[in-house]
Structures are given as C-alpha cells and as structure tokens.
C-alpha cells in the first residue's frame, strides 16, 4: 500500500499554477490508465461469467470513470496552457492537503514525474 505522508508548510517554495495544472492533467490521465487496467484484470478473472446482469451493469461504471478521468486530464492540460506563467502558489500550502507521497511528488514540478507508460487501450466488453 502507498505510504501516506503529509508535508507541512515550511518554506517559500512556489509552484507555477500552469505547471501544477498540467501535472494534475497528467495524473488524471495516469489514473484513467489504471482504471483501464482494473477493467482488464476483471475481464481476465472471468467476471462476466456467472455474474448477474445487474452487477455487470454496475461494473460498467468503471468505464465511465475511465472516460471521465481521460476527459478531465485533457481539460486540465488545456487549462494549464491558458494560465499566465507568472501566476504561482505556495507549494507547501497546496500540496500539504495530499496524503500520498507519490502523488505529491508527481504534482510538484520541482520533482521528476513518475508517469506510467501508455499501453494499447483495447476495447473491453462485459455485456
């Protein structure tokens, strides 16, 4: 399980808002890929075999989550391009609200991004 670590405001580290929103967009796209992986894993486990139709319909919600995350990722990336480069925030104040250390590092432009490689997104059909 991911280590939970809070950071506390301790300095004057600033983060450019356009860079932060771009990083949020990247993270949303990464989460969309993880959601696709969950769908694939459920399919590989034979979730459609012997599962009632209502449960299958509810599992289809994963696909909506995936599509929403992809859309929100693109939206955040587009928003970041519209934000003036001189607008910044106190990084510690903003990032201290997050619990996951890896997420904090992925969102902070002062750290190198840890982005999962994109794989072929084949179609998943349960119904």
97 phi, psi to nearest 5 deg:
-75, -15
Q: Is the pLDDT of residue 87 over 80?
A: yes
Tell me the angle at which helices 17-44 and 61-82 cross, rounded to the nearest 10 degrees.
160
Mean pLDDT of all residues belonging to the chain: 83
pLDDT score for 113: 72
CB-CB neighbours of 39 under 10 Å: 20
Number of alpha carbons in the 13 Å side-chain half-sphere of residue 103? 19
Using pLDDT thresholds of 50, 70 and 90, give the confidence band for residue 119.
low
Q: How far is the C-alpha of 107 from the C-alpha of 116, rounded, in Å?
A: 14
Q: How far is the C-alpha of 13 from the C-alpha of 117, rounded, in Å?
A: 29
Strands 14-16, 88-90: parallel, antiparallel or unpaired by DSSP?
Answer: antiparallel
pLDDT digits (tens, 9 = 90+) for 44-65: 888 767 788 888 888 889 999 9
Segment 56-83 shows an average pLDDT of 94
Q: 88 by DSSP, 3-state: which?
A: strand
């Amino acid at each position: 399980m991911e280590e939970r670590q809070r950071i506390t405001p301790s300095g004057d580290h600033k983060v450019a808002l356009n860079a932060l929103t771009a990083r949020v967009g990247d993270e949303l796209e990464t989460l969309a890929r993880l959601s696709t992986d969950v769908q694939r894993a459920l399919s590989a486990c034979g979730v459609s075999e012997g599962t009632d139709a209502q449960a299958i319909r509810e599992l289809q919600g994963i696909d909506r989550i995936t599509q929403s995350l992809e859309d929100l990722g693109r939206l955040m990336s587009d928003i970041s391009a519209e934000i003036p480069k001189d607008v910044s925030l106190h990084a510690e104040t903003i990032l201290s609200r997050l619990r996951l250390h890896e997420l904090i590092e992925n969102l902070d432009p002062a750290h190198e991004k840890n982005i999962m490689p994109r794989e072929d997104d084949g179609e998943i059909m349960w119904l």
